[in-house]
Chain A
Amino acid sequence: MMAIGLLEFIKNLILWPPVFYMLIAPGLITMMILLIILIWAERKIAGRIQMRYGPLEISPKIGGAIQLLADLMRYMFQEIIIPRTVDTLPYIIAPIAGFVISMLPIAAIPISPIYFPSPMNNSIIVALALTTLPPIFGILAGWSSNNKFSLIGGARESFLVAAYELIIILSAIGAVIIYGSPDFTQAVSAQKDLWGIVLNPISAIAFYVAVLMASGRFPFEIAEAEAEIVMGAYTEYSGLMYGLSMGISYARMFVYNLIFTLLFLGGWYPFFTVPGHTFFSYVIIPATIVIVKALIVSLTMVFTRAIYARLRIDQALGGAWKFWFLFSIMGLLLGGAIVLLQGGI
């Protein structure tokens, strides 16, 4: 009796929306699996273009797919060295808090029309606000490491944050105007016939490039430029903290891509239900569709490592303020024009 009541309790606990979102999908477990797939794909794609094989030693029959698990195990067994001259408390907190807080916006991003953590009327604004928190921990890691190279890396990150945040918000508003409400479920159900990327392509392109800038993909890999400032803000880290700091940028990229999918790529449409299985058809199917779309967009973003070099900081900032800022304002005007064509707000 007690055992059956206990099992029932655990099952209800796991299927409770906040726990399901943060733990299973699209939270911790899904993020770990997707991190493995993304980093493996980045190395294999770069290897195919560059006339070599990529990682092939650990599991040659499936193309070396679990290479990242071997890397993760190595980081877990490595000694974490804390130099004597650093500021200890911020040094330890920075990568851990950075990784955890970069997954915080998932609480506001729904992946199913009726099953989400808490009903919000303005989930888009909450999600975008929560994504601005992680860069602060990058700057904190750069300051507390007591190393000139980390300081330069932190300073570069702070310049870039001011540039790309504005472009992301303006592009998101350019899409929100067309849908008419700052809520994700309303935005997705408004894209039933036509995807957002066809309605407002200018805002979609500006959002895509700003996400490249935010997560440090080539050609904007400026805060962690290896040829100039050894590893940027995370130079002095070793062991598992180094592994976490490498995962921060991939986690942020995936969260931004979830927002991109819901705003511009039609969310969970084409949506079909299987009669008789409520949980399966209202939770698993839309979650799979959204996550697969976000994964495809992330794969196109990691492809740029094999094509481009690295820009200088003043060239990236000049391009962002002179060209992409005006581009996103044009997207805003295009959104306004479409609203007027549809007959007013």
Chain B
Amino acid sequence: MTGIYAEKSVSKRNLSLVSKAKNHFNAILLGAKLLVRPLRITYRYPLVKEIPDEGYRGFIVLDDGKCIGCSLCARICPASAMKMFQAQEKKLRPAINLERCVFCGYCVDICPTNALKHARTHDTVFEEGESMLYIGDKFTVDPDSQLLTGRVRIYRVRVDERRGLVYEPIR
């Protein structure tokens, strides 16, 4: 089984006046049909939010109890965003600079004790450059705990056959 080349050519060039009028009419009819029953695919962010599924590569969270300070995560980070620093009692712990992180997930995949994991949050606003450096206790806070709170309505995205994307409410 393999691929083959298929010769084709565009037929129906230089259409006559009647076919042009028919094409005009078809386009206008399709526009009118979609005007009456629209196929909407957008949603009204930020009044409504979408939450990705499990397994989405969002922010990185550290579990301090499992970390052994082997510094493999700092060696494999492609953007030099993860660096080690001396915490208390001469232990080495990682710190992450979110300005440089590209969320590739290499550090999560190489940690031998599963101390790093991905959260599902992916959008936060920072007002200063220094607050983008997550070091010490700030690195262990899981942002997903605030994911399902707040006054906005929350949806999950599913692929559908008729409308493309449908939004199922979680809460």
Give yes or no for direct A-B contact (beta carbon below 8 Å): yes
Query: What is A's interface to B at a CB cutoff of 8 Å?
Result: 45, 48-49, 51-53, 56, 303, 306-308
- Sample 7 A-B pairs with CB under 8 A, ordered by A number: A48-B35, A51-B41, A52-B42, A53-B42, A53-B44, A306-B31, A307-B28
Cβ distance A121 to chain B, nearest Cβ, rounded Å: 41
- B102 at interface, CB cutoff 8 A: no
- What residues of B have a CB within 8 angstroms of the CB of A49 in the complex? 31, 34-35, 38
Tell me, in angstroms, the Cα distance from A306 to B31 when the chains sit together: 8
Interface string of B27-44 (1 = CB under 8 A from A): 110010011001111101
- Closest-by-CB residue of A relative to B47 is A60
Tell me, in angstroms, the Cα distance from A45 to B36 when the chains sit together: 10
- Closest-by-CB residue of B relative to A48 is B38
Chain A contact residues, majority secondary structure: loop
Tell me, in angstroms, the Cα distance from A303 to B27 when the chains sit together: 12
B31 touches A303 (CB 8 A): yes
Cβ distance B21 to chain A, nearest Cβ, rounded Å: 12
- What residues of A have a CB within 8 angstroms of the CB of B42 in the complex? 51-53
- What residues of B have a CB within 8 angstroms of the CB of A303 in the complex? 31, 35
Given contacts A52-B40, A53-B40, list 5 more A-B pairs with CB under 8 A.
A49-B31, A49-B38, A51-B42, A52-B42, A307-B28
Tell me, in angstroms, the Cα distance from A45 to B39 when the chains sit together: 13
Cβ distance B113 to chain A, nearest Cβ, rounded Å: 47
Interface size on B, residues (CB 8 A): 11
Tell me, in angstroms, the Cα distance from A53 to B31 when the chains sit together: 16
Tell me, in angstroms, the Cα distance from A303 to B35 when the chains sit together: 10
Other-chain contact of A52, B27, B28, B35, B41 (Cβ < 8 Å): B41
Tell me, in angstroms, the Cα distance from A308 to B20 when the chains sit together: 14
A51 touches B35 (CB 8 A): no
- What residues of A have a CB within 8 angstroms of the CB of B44 in the complex? 53, 56
Tell me, in angstroms, the Cα distance from A308 to B38 when the chains sit together: 18
- What residues of B have a CB within 8 angstroms of the CB of A48 in the complex? 34-35, 38
A51 touches B28 (CB 8 A): no
- What residues of A have a CB within 8 angstroms of the CB of B31 in the complex? 49, 303, 306-307
- What residues of B have a CB within 8 angstroms of the CB of A306 in the complex? 31
Tell me, in angstroms, the Cα distance from A45 to B38 when the chains sit together: 10
Tell me, in angstroms, the Cα distance from A179 to B44 when the chains sit together: 54
- What residues of B have a CB within 8 angstroms of the CB of A307 in the complex? 27-28, 31
Cβ distance B49 to chain A, nearest Cβ, rounded Å: 16
Q: Would you list which residues of chain B between 106 and 150 have a CB under 8 Å from chain A?
A: none
Cβ distance B79 to chain A, nearest Cβ, rounded Å: 34
Tell me, in angstroms, the Cα distance from A53 to B40 when the chains sit together: 8
Tell me, in angstroms, the Cα distance from A146 to B28 when the chains sit together: 40
B39 touches A51 (CB 8 A): yes
- What residues of B have a CB within 8 angstroms of the CB of A308 in the complex? 27
Tell me, in angstroms, the Cα distance from A45 to B35 when the chains sit together: 7
Cβ distance B159 to chain A, nearest Cβ, rounded Å: 15
- Closest-by-CB residue of B relative to A44 is B35
Tell me, in angstroms, the Cα distance from A51 to B38 when the chains sit together: 7
Q: Would you list which residues of chain B between 42 and 69 have a CB under 8 Å from chain A?
A: 42, 44
- Closest-by-CB residue of A relative to B28 is A307
Tell me, in angstroms, the Cα distance from A49 to B33 when the chains sit together: 9
Please give me the 10 A-B residue pairs with the lowest Cβ-Cβ distance, nearest first: A48-B38, A51-B41, A52-B42, A307-B31, A49-B34, A48-B35, A307-B27, A49-B31, A51-B39, A49-B35
Tell me, in angstroms, the Cα distance from A52 to B44 when the chains sit together: 10
- What residues of A have a CB within 8 angstroms of the CB of B38 in the complex? 48-49, 51
Tell me, in angstroms, the Cα distance from A188 to B95 when the chains sit together: 81
Cβ distance B164 to chain A, nearest Cβ, rounded Å: 8
- What residues of A have a CB within 8 angstroms of the CB of B41 in the complex? 51-52
Tell me, in angstroms, the Cα distance from A168 to B47 when the chains sit together: 49
- Closest-by-CB residue of A relative to B38 is A48
- Closest-by-CB residue of A relative to B31 is A307
Cβ distance B83 to chain A, nearest Cβ, rounded Å: 42
Of B31, B39, B40, B44, most A-chain CB atoms within 10 Å: B31
